[in-house]
A and B are shown apart, each in its own frame.
Chain A
Amino acid sequence: MALASFILQRLLVYVLVLVVGMTILFFVPRFAPTDPVDAMLAKVTSQSGYMDASQVDSLRQSLSDTFGLSGTLMEQYGAFLRRIFVEFDFGPSLSMYPTPVMELIGNALPWTFGLLLSATVIAWVIGNFVGLLAGWKPESNAGRVMEGLAICLYPIPYYIIALILSVLFSYVWPIFPLATTIRGAPWSWDLVQSIVWNSFLPAMSIVITTFGWWIISVKAQTQSLKEEEFIRYARLKGLSDARLLGRYVLPNALLPQITFLALQIGLMFNGSLITEIIFDYPGLGLLIYTAVLQGDYNLLMGTISLSIVAVATATMIIDFLYPLVDPRIRHG
């Protein structure tokens, strides 16, 4: 059946992505100009004060494990893959010793997930809605203005919008906090409010940068769809514009948008990383940044591995959405 082979193929790609990604992560440190273990060790011991010999040894061992530097290349590779896929162990964080890296990632991941999910949904919904109307009446002033606006906003890099928003609304008009400060006991109304308040600017930043793309692409889609025969036939039955738009144009216009979403996930992830760093938002982006600044190699490997897994998984989920809405793939 067409659907089963589609799912199988997609899963295969997913596994391949993870393998390719981890392989890259495995080989990249080997291109570093200096011996990473010594460099890390020197940094850690100089920063965290006195460590006795056994601690240094166990740290060296852990680092060697992380870098997978013991044994032959194949053994190293095998051990590396096993540690990641089977044990989910990235070792302890070097800058926040001995907190395990997975714990830090576990704390940060929901923030990134929440931010990216809400920003993407908002941008997608608003962008597609506006673009649909603009595409239906392309000659209208509103349509042209929206498209012009989208064209001007879309190419602007994430960090510039983030910087501008940050300066305008945290500094010039201090409405939003400059650095993220969450207050309130777990799951009290105060906490929820605090979260939303602190997330507003970063989310807005991502929405402003990305919704332009949806407007442009769905407008182009709608404009070409308007000429399709089934739209003309439906109209000749006397259907109202509202019904045409809602049941005939919209579903067909959104279909390719789902594919675009899958392609854009990687780019949007990059953008959200930068946005988090600029807004000091406690997500994966900030964690990666801290890891780099502190030379925390374990944390760096962990967060980057997870980024790859997260993006690959999100892309695959979105790809699976496609047959749900397109009967031509479901029923061959």
Chain B
Amino acid sequence: MADKRAIFKDVPGRMYIGLTLLLIVGTIGLVLPWFTPTDPLEWYASPRNQTPSLDHLLGTTSLGQDIFWLLTWAVRNSLILGVTVAFFSTLIGVFLGLMAGYVGGPLDRTLSFLMDALICIPTLPILILLAALFGGQLSLWAAGIALVIFNWPFPGRQVRAVALSMREREFVNVAWFSGEGQSRILVRHIFPYIAGWSAANFVNTVLVAVATESALAVIGLSSATQATVGTMIYWALEYQALLGERYVWIGAPVIAIVALFIGLFLLSSGLAMRSADRRMSI
């Protein structure tokens, strides 16, 4: 029943839309930055407040920056932050979650308590505190580390639940009784189930990481030296882009972030739907 072609048949429609959006955003953020002519962060490199033209595809800001190239760098930085946080979060979460669920006992109890505790602590106030301590600007590194620490329990909990139910499954017991080693059981039988959920969690964590950092940025507490989509919105607001009717400056990052988030969400929920379907059909 589970032949290779089925992998492409079960894909919910939403995943196609999500992937398309992400492809567009990804191109903007990961491909285009290689082509920037000058440093887009530099003030007054171009004439100020230009409307979109062939020279400046999206116009320029009040600080004389080309909006289009600035946007590509901002998206790039946001994506790098999001993906890095997601990578480490998922790695730690899956590893600890698997251990907790599969090994059980006091290790499971300790890790479960820890995970439940970390989930209850709201991330943003802690980040704000960090920002305050670092003089009102939080570097992306510090934000990233804090985000990883507070986000790994989310995939951790989910993987633990899957691992717990796996332990009881017939075919795992059969493998165990036939003498397969623990690690082989983990990799060959349990991992395929976890992989689907981990992918969904990974994408979701990218979303949460970028969302939290940009929330921090919009209130002005994120890095002043690095451009992210959030800081771009912040600077636009600081320089009255809305009131001054310079809509492209604030509109571009807003649209970029909305497209990114919708794409990430569609992808992650599509992956989750597929994992749930697969599990139920076994």
Contacts and interface: CB of A to CB of B under 8 A. Distances in A.
B122 interface: yes
A278 to B, nearest CB: 8
B106 interface: no
Nearest to A172: B242
Given A155-B261, A167-B242, A291-B132, A263 B119 contact: yes
A28 B219 contact: no
Contacts of B219: 274, 277, 289
A181 to B, nearest CB: 20
A47 to B, nearest CB: 15
A16 interface: yes
Interface string B187-230: 00000000000000000000110011011001101000000000
Contacts of B265: 151, 154-155
Contacts of A253: none
Interface in A4-48: 12-13, 16-17, 20-21, 24-25, 28-29, 31-34, 36
A308 B113 contact: no
A295 B269 CA distance: 41
B133 interface: yes
A34 B119 CA distance: 30
B116 A17 contact: yes
A61 B167 CA distance: 56
A110 interface: no
A297 to B, nearest CB: 8
A273 interface: yes
B215 A270 contact: yes
B258 interface: yes
A167 B237 CA distance: 12
Interface residues of B, number: 45
A308 B243 CA distance: 36
Contacts of A312: 120-121
B45 interface: no
A216 interface: yes
A154 B204 CA distance: 13
A292 interface: yes
B120 A266 contact: yes
Interface string B224-259: 000000000000010000110000000000100110
Given A151-B14, A292-B131, A300-B132, A17 B120 contact: yes
A10 B16 CA distance: 41
B58 interface: no
Given A156-B261, A157-B261, A160-B258, A29 B121 contact: no
Interface string A307-332: 11001100100000000000000000
B218 A288 contact: no
A25 B125 CA distance: 11
B254 A270 contact: no
Contact of A308 (B116, B122, B208, B266): B122
A156 B258 contact: yes
B113 A270 contact: no
A21 B214 CA distance: 23
A128 B199 CA distance: 27
A152 B21 CA distance: 13
Interface residues of A, number: 55
A288 B128 contact: yes
Interface string A264-278: 011101110110010
A311 B121 contact: yes
A160 B122 contact: no
Nearest to B112: A13
A255 interface: no
Given A151-B266, A292-B136, A270 B212 contact: yes
A136 interface: no
Nearest to B109: A9
B113 to A, nearest CB: 6
A308 B117 CA distance: 10
Interface in A233-283: 263, 265-267, 269-271, 273-274, 277
Contacts of B262: 151-152, 155-156
Contact of A274 (B126, B134, B215): B215
A157 B215 CA distance: 8
B121 A308 contact: yes
B117 to A, nearest CB: 4
A36 B134 CA distance: 10
Given A13-B117, A295-B132, A157 B211 contact: yes
Given A28-B126, A291-B132, A292-B136, A266 B121 contact: yes
Nearest to A300: B132
B128 A32 contact: no
Contacts of B83: none
Interface string B95-119: 0000000000000000001101111
B121 A24 contact: yes
Given A17-B116, A159-B218, A270-B215, A300 B121 contact: no
A288 to B, nearest CB: 6
Interface of B: 14, 113-114, 116-126, 128-136, 207-208, 211-212, 214-215, 218-219, 221, 237, 242-243, 254, 257-258, 261-262, 264-266, 269, 273
Please list the 8 inter-chain residue pairs (A to B) with the smallest Cβ-Cβ separation, ordered nearest first. A155-B261, A270-B124, A32-B133, A155-B265, A17-B117, A307-B125, A312-B120, A304-B125
11 contacts: A17-B120, A31-B133, A151-B265, A154-B265, A156-B258, A158-B215, A159-B218, A270-B123, A273-B125, A289-B219, A304-B128
Given A34-B135, A151-B262, A265-B120, 12 more contacts: A20-B118, A20-B121, A31-B133, A36-B133, A157-B261, A163-B242, A266-B120, A274-B219, A297-B132, A307-B125, A308-B122, A312-B120
